[in-house]
Structure 1
Amino acid sequence: MSALWPYVTPGIPDHLFERLPGIPLSQREVRLLLLGYLRLRADSVLWDIGAGTGTIAVEAGLLCRQGKVIAVERDPEVAQLIQTNCDRFELTNIEVTVGSAPDCLSQLPESPDCVLIEGGRSFKEILQSIWKRLLPDGRIVVTVGSLKGLYAVSEAFAELQVRNIEVAQPAVNRLETRGNQQFFAAIDPIFVLSGDKLG
């Protein structure tokens, strides 16, 4: 159990994570949604592709104490940030890999039963590469922020014959204080696509 987050429930407040300017952070409400779609088990092996700040990797590492999270990030400085956040939460079951997907995926040490893709440019190639390694009855979750990305992932899901497909476009607003006023501000909208590899 982490001294920084001594709870069994996910939903770590954003301010507890170290950040770098310009590096996006999956905000708490979005993380909770993604963790729900991933359907993790205590011993899951999760690939987090495009792990960014490492917020999902940390939350998943806390949930999957008997499993493993492999966080893939192409920028070495950002990969170091992920490691810093893992250390802050005293996690040893997260492996940070520096590399660009899909090129680095064949080198990853363990095949996953869950994969999260957080953004990217070549969705089809990444999904095809992941599909070869994803274990039977494995689960895949993808986030995209554009209509073009939505079409690309939908097409790839159809070609790969992903089953039990779900698509959501959540709207989340947070109360923010500006001066002496309080306003609701929208979190950047994303599409969440998920599905299973049967058999």
Structure 2
Amino acid sequence: SRHGRRDSLTEAVRHHGKVFCLTGGSDTPAALCRMLCHAGLGQARVAVGYRLSYEDEHVARGTAEELAGLKEEGSLAVMMIWNDKARPWQRPVHGLPDESFIRGKAPMTKQEIRSIALSRLAPFPQAVIYDIGAGTGSCTVELALLAPAGEIFAFEIDEEALSVLTANIDRFALSNVTVVPGNAARTLPSVADAPEYAFIGGTKGNIPAILDEIYRKNRACRIVMTAITVETLAAVTAYYAGRPDYTLDITQVMTARSRRVGSSHMMMAQNPVYIMTAAYDPVPGGERSSSCL
């Protein structure tokens, strides 16, 4: 349904041979057909039904590409979509190559760290996920691919990073991402959807306020955080020291990449990164709540 909701149409069509859709608001049949075309699904066959069961009932048929310029007869309609090339969804491998993304001056979580951090988060396909400090959007993109039937909220304050973030969302034709500009400590309350998972890559020094707001919405939210400074590590450990109902796991990851030097290769060390995973555990030392796994 796109009637007052944001269920992902493109991912549904990409992975199913038949999709039935309710339209509404700005998501008119023509607009949704243009969305399908942008996602490379322009050849999907579409039937649009207007005013069904009334005397002036009308059904328009064609491919998504052909109906992208359809003259609107109102936003309330139904669509039946057939995709003969649909492929069942498979969980993607974590850690797309860094070269897959448009880059800017804003920091980007590197492939190796991304792979480990997202495997620790392990969201289910229908999850609501917050990406706080989204930067250029490498984690946002991968989270959207991991949860194609879910909703990703990408929080970012830097104007240049927002531009690159939006460009990467567009590059991967993602329809399940909502960008939330501004300081996350202030914008988090404006998002009505409670997170089931959260990835935190940057907080501008507002870790306690951000974590408090996440847990206010869902105390069982599973959170993975990355940090390169010991000050951030100290702030996180201090926060959870007063929260015995959570378990905190900390891993330090150090990687090196090869660089060609003449006819040889030299390993170049990358900055060590702390990966911190916080999970709700109402019985410390006991069996962890299944809602966090």
The alignment's TM-score, normalised by the length of structure 2, stands at 0.62
Name the counterpart of 1:131: 215
Q: Secondary structure at the match of 1:157?
A: helix
1:65 aligned residue: 148
The aligned residue for residue 289 of structure 2 is none
Q: 2:177 aligns with which of 83, 94, 119?
A: 94
Work out whether residues 136 and 198 of structure 1, in 8 Å CA contact, stay in contact via their aligned partners in 2.
Answer: no
Which residue of structure 1 aligns with residue 158 of structure 2? Answer: 75
Relative to 1, partners in 2 of residues 1:80 and 1:29: Cα closer, same or farther, differing over 3 Å? same
Shift of the 157–81 alpha-carbon distance from structure 1 to 2, 3 Å rule, reads same
Where does structure 1 differ by over 3 angstroms across 4 or more consecutive aligned residues? 178-181
- How many residue pairs match? The answer is 195
Unpaired stretches in structure 2, ≥5 consecutive residues: 1-13, 15-38, 41-89, 283-293
Equivalent positions of 1:33-182 (< 5 A) are 33-120=116-203, 121-133=205-217, 135-182=218-265
Q: Indicate yes or no: 2:110 matched with 1:27.
A: yes
Aligned equivalent of 1:14: 98
Structure 1 residues 198 and 7 mapped into 2: Cα distance closer, same or farther (>3 Å)? Answer: closer
> Quick one: higher RCO (CA 8 Å, sep 6+), 1 or 2?
1
CA contact (8 A) 1:113 1:136 kept: no
Contact 2:98 2:110 in 1 (8 A): yes
Contact 1:128–1:160 at 8 Å: present in 2 too? no
1:111 aligned counterpart, secondary structure: coil
Go from structure 1 to structure 2 and tell me whether the alpha carbon gap of 1:98 and 1:162 turns closer, same or farther (over 3 Å shift): farther
Whole-angstrom distance in 2 between the partners of 1:32 and 1:166: 17
- RMSD over aligned CA atoms reads 2.0
SS in 1 for 2:139: helix
Does the CA contact (< 8 Å) of 1:166 and 1:194 recur in 2? yes
Q: Which residue of 1 aligns with 2:72?
A: none
CA contact (8 A) 1:50 1:71 kept: yes
> After superposition, what is the alpha-carbon deviation per residue over 1:4-43, rounded to whole angstroms, capped at 9, x for unaligned?
xx983222110110011x3111111100011011121011
Structure 1: tracts of 5 or more residues without a match: none
SS of alignment partner, residue 236 of structure 2: helix
Q: Deviations over 1:48-67 (max 9, x none)?
A: 10000100010010110111
Distance 1:104 1:96 in 2: 11
Asked whether the equivalents of residues 25 and 53 of structure 1 are also in contact (C-alpha less than 8 Å), the reply is: yes
- Check whether the contact 2:91–2:146 (CA below 8 A) recurs between aligned residues: no
Deviation at residue 164 of structure 1 after TM alignment? 2.9
CA distance in 1, matches of 2:236, 2:149: 31
